[in-house]
Structure 1
Amino acid sequence: MCTMRRDAHYLSVVERAIPASVLTVCSAFEMRIERQAPQRSPHDAQTDAYGLYLATCSSDKKVKVFDISDNKKPLLIKTLEGHEGPVWQVAWAHPTFGTILATCSYDKTVIVWKKGPTPDDWTNIFTYKEHTSSVNSINWAPHEFGLILAAGSSDMTASVHTCITETRWESVKIEAHNVGCNAVSWAPALQNRRFVTGGCDNLVKIWKLDEEAHKWINEHTLEGHTDWVRDVAWAPCLGQGRNIIASCGQDCRVIIWTQERDQWRRKELSRFRDVVWLVSWAITGNVLAVSGGDNNVSLWTERENGEWDTFSEVNNVPMPQPLPPTSLVRSSHQLAAAKQLDAD
């Protein structure tokens, strides 16, 4: 059983070393919610920037928002209904823009929700229905760029949605990956607008906004995986003049891609025993959490000689029912959190 205080100072210290998704599962176990109906298999769980709210999504087409500011027990404050299929992922926007939550679903849509003045006052402020297959992944751009959301879909495209006003959004689709796009992740704000995608063509692709042409171009294509890329994560900037991306896949591989100047080099972590579903960076960018089909979560860091070593591992994290293979499957540690929280 994980026990973890939630006071602001303690969390601010711990979050520098451990990804927020790992903190989420510890909080979930601490809350001791045990009931879960099989038809409500959870797919994702994410806390907001302040750790006040937690959103979960499930196969029952619903998104649930909990108030977790009370140390005793989470309080369900709102069930968001608008999707017509299983909801794969949730993502909180930066608090600069208010309390805003994005969701994506097998029903081919992306929805953006905004909280009003009261806890149960939530409004659908944007719905995107132009994808022709499941929307598998969503990720907000750094807030310095504005309120911008990227999404990846099984229809082989990624889409970028920019909020001009609360009632006006501009959207663009990009032909991204053959067979489908499984994951998206934005680069830090210290450089031009870029994001990375992972797809069913075994490729990792980096996209850059051409400011003059006002279009997204494929800046780099990274080859190294031999099966579907399941997740990608661009590391927060460490001020070292380099970019780092982690990718993981159906091939049981985790690859660290490092760019110095214009060249990308790859380094593979020790081979995993099963498919790897998710990679997640700590906010400092120097600790990587990896989780997959073996129900284990491992933490990795880079040594001075450039080698990556694991320094901590949590074994036998509960794994709910798997999702269809054509959709993004979230990590075992996030899913375990959702499984316990979504039941109340």
Structure 2
Amino acid sequence: MQHDAVLDYYGRKLATCSSDKTVKIFEVENDTHRLTDTLKGHEGAVWCVAWAHPKYGSILASASYDGKVLIWRSQSTNSAPSSWQKIYDFALHTASVNLVAWAPHEVGCLLACASSDGSVSVLEFKDNSWDHVIFPAHGIGVNAVSWAPVVGQPQGSRRFVTGGSDCAVNIWEWSPETRSYNKATTLPGHTDWVRDVAWSPSVLPKAYIASASQDKTVRIWTSPSAGGEWSSTTLNFDAVAWRVSWSLNGNVLAVSTGENKVFIYKERLKGGWVLVKTIEE
């Protein structure tokens, strides 16, 4: 079973991962794709893959049921095709790593990892070496993590949101003084596992976070400023809400649910959210 498929920044490479413990790399050209590499190294199903910004090279992260996060890099020359090498093996989590997400490239080469062991780790590549911070985030498992955009944030700030099996949505901020991530706020309201979270990449003055839950709701959280209070709008569905994804301009939200449907919502000019399209898979 395939679990994730992600195009790189330029849309020329496609990475997929599946229950067969592998990551596959495809070259994409027009309407065709060609398998070029199969990456082996995980010992369990691979749930998630994520491309780093090309500023840091052709780098891919993968997260697995085996509790590991692997970092891969493509080496290529003009005379030889690309070849992939595992450059980092992070194995401090004690349960499945469910999702990994790269930070905006402006704040550094940072990767956040959400694990069923209840902790979040943040890996950082700096000065030719990898460092990490790991901390407890949700009591009975972390299912998702999403970074805040740089636009509208204080310079150098690092913030992300997590969703957990404890029904909570937590926002975390980096403290340079203590060199740790501290919980800034908890957004309450869900009554079952939070399956996914997504911080809008909006360049608008407002900040938006969407959270999808086993309780068959999606909450859209809105803050008028970087440090303002959060208010929420609730969207109700007939099945579990699995994933949420924002458009690049940050005011259109896609929601996928357990009934094999995708719902597209758009913000009204006068406030509130309206369903503009339903796609049946």
Are the aligned partners of 1:77 and 1:119 in contact in 2 as well (CA < 8 Å)?
no
Are the aligned partners of 1:231 and 1:247 in contact in 2 as well (CA < 8 Å)?
yes
CA-based RMSD:
1.0
Alignment of 1:189-268 (within 5 A): 189-190=150-151, 191=153, 192-240=157-205, 242-261=206-225, 262-268=228-234
Alignment of 1:294-309 (within 5 A): 294-309=259-274
Cα drift, residue 238 of structure 1: 2.2
The amino acid that maps onto 2:195 is R
Alignment of 1:8-47 (within 5 A): 41-47=1-7
What residue number does 2:9 align with? 49
Report how many aligned residue pairs link the two structures.
Answer: 272
In 2, Cα distance between equivalents of 1:119 and 1:250: 44
The amino acid that maps onto 2:232 is R
More strand by share: 2
Are the aligned partners of 2:101 and 2:111 in contact in 1 as well (CA < 8 Å)?
yes
Are the aligned partners of 1:290 and 1:299 in contact in 2 as well (CA < 8 Å)?
yes
Cα drift, residue 72 of structure 1: 4.5
Where does the alignment leave 5 or more consecutive residues of structure 1 unmatched?
A: 1-40, 318-344
Alignment of 1:53-68 (within 5 A): 53-68=13-28
Match for residue 272 of structure 1 among 237, 259, 279: 237
Alignment of 1:152-171 (within 5 A): 152-166=114-128, 168-171=129-132
Higher relative contact order (CA 8 A, sep 6+): 1
What residue number does 2:142 align with? 181
In 1, Cα distance between equivalents of 2:158 and 2:81: 33
Deviations 1:120-170 (A, max 9, x none): 41111111000000000100000001110000000000000000144x111
Query: Are 1:135 and 2:97 counterparts?
Result: yes
SS at match of 1:144: helix
Identity %: 49
The amino acid that maps onto 2:59 is I
The amino acid that maps onto 2:6 is Q
Are the aligned partners of 1:254 and 1:276 in contact in 2 as well (CA < 8 Å)?
yes
Are the aligned partners of 2:202 and 2:251 in contact in 1 as well (CA < 8 Å)?
no
Match for residue 38 of structure 2 among 76, 79, 82: 79
In 2, Cα distance between equivalents of 1:196 and 1:203: 10
More helix by share: 1
The amino acid that maps onto 1:179 is I
Are the aligned partners of 2:202 and 2:248 in contact in 1 as well (CA < 8 Å)?
no
The amino acid that maps onto 1:74 is H
CA separation of 1:250 and 1:96: change in aligned 2, threshold 3 A: same
Cα drift, residue 239 of structure 1: 2.9
SS at match of 2:230: strand
Are the aligned partners of 1:142 and 1:186 in contact in 2 as well (CA < 8 Å)?
yes
Q: TM-score, structure 1 length as denominator?
A: 0.77
SS at match of 1:305: coil
Deviations 1:76-122 (A, max 9, x none): 00000000000000001111111111000000000110111154411
SS at match of 1:306: coil
Deviations 1:264-315 (A, max 9, x none): 111112x111001100011111111110101001111100121101111211
In 2, Cα distance between equivalents of 1:259 and 1:169: 34
SS at match of 2:32: coil
Are the aligned partners of 1:194 and 1:206 in contact in 2 as well (CA < 8 Å)?
yes
In 2, Cα distance between equivalents of 1:165 and 1:77: 31
